[in-house]
Structure 1
């Protein structure tokens, strides 16, 4: 059986009722540069170029993120890795994005694969 090649953590996102406070913390305490902002959505860039995102409760499209922060595992071949999850009986959440696929882990939490 082929095994996906995880190359590292590729993304992190938090959907929270305290989104402005968390965004302020990322910017002003952790010192992460703000790469993008719109209503209820902030994107910060890590030194390696990967992103950390903050979603307010009103941001559309992230309603499945209710278990806490979501981490994305970077993989070399996203379509193959998602198919491996499917073949293993893992619940894939929603349609895949151009560079990601969310899934539910055996602990009930939401995770994602992200193209490296």
Structure 2
């Protein structure tokens, strides 16, 4: 597997609106999407950071803190490699991502990039 960089970062927190405001006001990152309990801010390189409220459905497995997404060019091959090495995969792969649990108990992901 070839990790080519950090491809995504997500956080599920009870302070989601404050964190999203901090990203925009303090860090100067533009808010590009907002829906109830979910915010997306863009990074200068075109990747993004997502913030989820603690009651946002579908991200309950984000229970250990921020989730770092490692960028890979070949997601299916990278997922197959994790599976072959006995890594705990969380849910089914999305169209461009796969969550997994590291040996430290934290949640991480692989994210496909072009």
Q: TM-score range by the shorter chain?
A: over 0.9
Alignment correspondent of 2:86: 89
Aligned partner (choices 68, 73, 98) of residue 71 of structure 1: 68
Aligned partner (choices 11, 14, 17) of residue 20 of structure 1: 17
SS in structure 2 of the partner of residue 80 of structure 1: helix
Q: CA deviation at 1:57?
A: 1.2
Which segments of 5 or more consecutive residues in structure 1 lack a partner in the other structure? none
Aligned partner (choices 4, 7, 13) of residue 4 of structure 2: 7
SS in structure 1 of the partner of residue 44 of structure 2: coil
Q: CA deviation at 1:96?
A: 0.8
What is the distance in 2 between the residues matched to 1:36 and 1:58? 18
List, as ranges, runs of 4+ consecutive aligned residues in structure 1 with deviation greater than 4 Å.
Answer: none
Q: CA deviation at 1:71?
A: 0.3
What is the distance in 2 between the residues matched to 1:96 and 1:60? 17
Q: CA deviation at 1:43?
A: 0.3
**Number of equivalences:** 113
SS in structure 2 of the partner of residue 37 of structure 1: strand
What is the distance in 2 between the residues matched to 1:109 and 1:58? 19
What do you get for the CA RMSD once the two structures are aligned?
0.5
Q: CA deviation at 1:113?
A: 0.1
TM-score scaled to structure 2, two decimals? 0.98
